[in-house]
Amino acid sequence: MDVAPSDEQRRLVESFTALFGDASPPSRVRAAEPLGFDPALWETVRSAGIVAMAVGEADGGWGAEPLDLALVAEVQGRFLAPVPIVEAQVAARLLARLRTPRAASALAAALAGERTVTMAVHPSREGVARLVPAGAVADDVLVMDGGRLLLVPSGGDHGQVENLGAMPLADLRLGPDAEVLADGPGAEAAYETALDEFLLLTAAAQVGIAARAVEIGVGYVKQRRAFGVPIGSFQSIGHALADSATAVDGARLLTYEAAWAHGTEPGRFAELAAMAFAFATETAREATYRSLHFHGGYGFTDEYDIQLYYRRARAWAAVCLEPRAAYRRAADHRYSAVRTAAPMEEQWTSA
């Protein structure tokens, strides 16, 4: 057991912390609302290799480990960087996993920065992929449609669904230009792994949100005075923040354990990724709620940054799964021998 990042991982975190610190301060996050996308920042991180790092060298990438991707996602969460990093990384890894010529050419276009590719995290229904993450800004979307994995050009005409988290979500109608990339059990398995990875990296981003929310709250309650003392001296406040700080550390350890298991104990990866998503999401919800609440009335004004975190902690999770469904997903992997074979559509609880 060694929970310290390697020197290389530390440098990775430092470089993205510097990049987002410069390019994604709260003013830029606000300016990117309501769409939730900053094209200039996306260009910057894409040229820095954010998509390439996610796929193996044989596929034209840099072959970073899931642990590295999780570290970057945590930094993204801290800064709420309005760019589809997790979406593009997981979609690229899914394309690489398919090993078909069409998938390879789509991946090449993504790596060359010609096209932004995302994936729908729920199978389509009645010809529509709903609430696709980054669907409003991507060029191509990977969609599971009745056992077939499709590559769907978005055509650029899918408007954003206005939403709580200022995410570039879109409902995407599957047109005649959708191409079948793969079908059958192989496609299902590849897509399931992509979902596990999406949950893992979202968990990491939630850790970043939660950690920053605690920092913002601690900073505020040290300065803010009421009844003649800093309000951080009240136990009702200090103890709640202590609980959140504890949960943040736990969520971070669980998330990095899941990322570590991806390569080292693959049999536990899916279970741990779902657990990490559920626990990190509950942690981020609680931390942002507490931190906002301890700001008093200022907490729910637009002017204070904590509301940006409060809204995204909920939205980034809700687009995937509610935590309770994620605990069920974890149990489905844990008890796979007695699996009920519930169809995936039922397990994923979104409309």
Q: For binding to other proteins (CB under 8 A), which residues are involved?
A: 1-6, 9, 67, 214, 218, 221-222, 229-230, 232-233, 235, 237-239, 241-243, 245-247, 249-251, 253-254, 256-257, 260-261, 264-265, 272, 274-275, 278-279, 324, 327-332, 334-335, 338, 340, 342
Which region holds residue 316: left if phi is over 0, alpha if psi is between -120 and 50, else beta?
alpha
Parallel, antiparallel or unpaired: strands 128-132 and 140-145: unpaired
CB of 231 to other proteins, least distance (A): 10
59/257 with CB nearer other proteins: 257
Cβ(321)–Cβ(99) under 8 Å? Answer: no
Closest to other proteins by CB, 187 vs 306, is 306
Residue 171 sits at the vertex; the CA angle it makes with 167 and 173, to the nearest 5 degrees, is: 150
Tell me the pairing of strands 117-119 and 140-145. parallel
Of 164 and 342, CB closest to other proteins: 342
Packing angle, helices 185-223 and 266-294, rounded to 10:
30
Least distance (Å) from other proteins to the CB of residue 67?
Answer: 6
Q: How far is the CB of 242 from other proteins (least distance, A)?
A: 4
Q: How far is the CB of 78 from other proteins (least distance, A)?
A: 17
Choose between 14 and 43: whose C-beta lies nearer to other proteins.
14
Q: Whose Cβ is closer to other proteins: residue 33's or residue 249's?
A: 249
> How many angstroms separate the CA atoms of 91 and 12, rounded?
22
Q: How far is the CB of 328 from other proteins (least distance, A)?
A: 5
The residues pairing with 229 across neighbouring beta strands, listed in sequence order, are: 226
Task: Considering the complex, state which of residue 3 and residue 351 has its C-beta at the smaller distance from other proteins.
Answer: 3
Q: Name the minimum Å distance from CB 71 to other proteins.
A: 9
For 320-341, give one letter per residue: b (16+ CB within 10 A) or e. bbbbebbbbbbebbeeeeeeee
Distances (CA, A) of 234 to 21, 177, 226: 32, 61, 10
Our measurement of the distance from residue 53's CA atom to the centroid of its chain's CA atoms, rounded to an integer in Å, reads 16
| Minimal distance, residue 262 CB to other proteins, in Å | 11
How far, in Å, CA of 140 to CA of 119, rounded?
A: 8
Report the first-to-last Cα separation within the chain, whole angstroms. 41
Calpha distance 63→65 (Å, rounded): 6
Name the residue nearer to other proteins (CB basis): 129 or 211. Answer: 211
Residue closer to other proteins by CB (options 59, 332) is 332
Smallest separation (angstroms) from other proteins to the CB of 294: 11
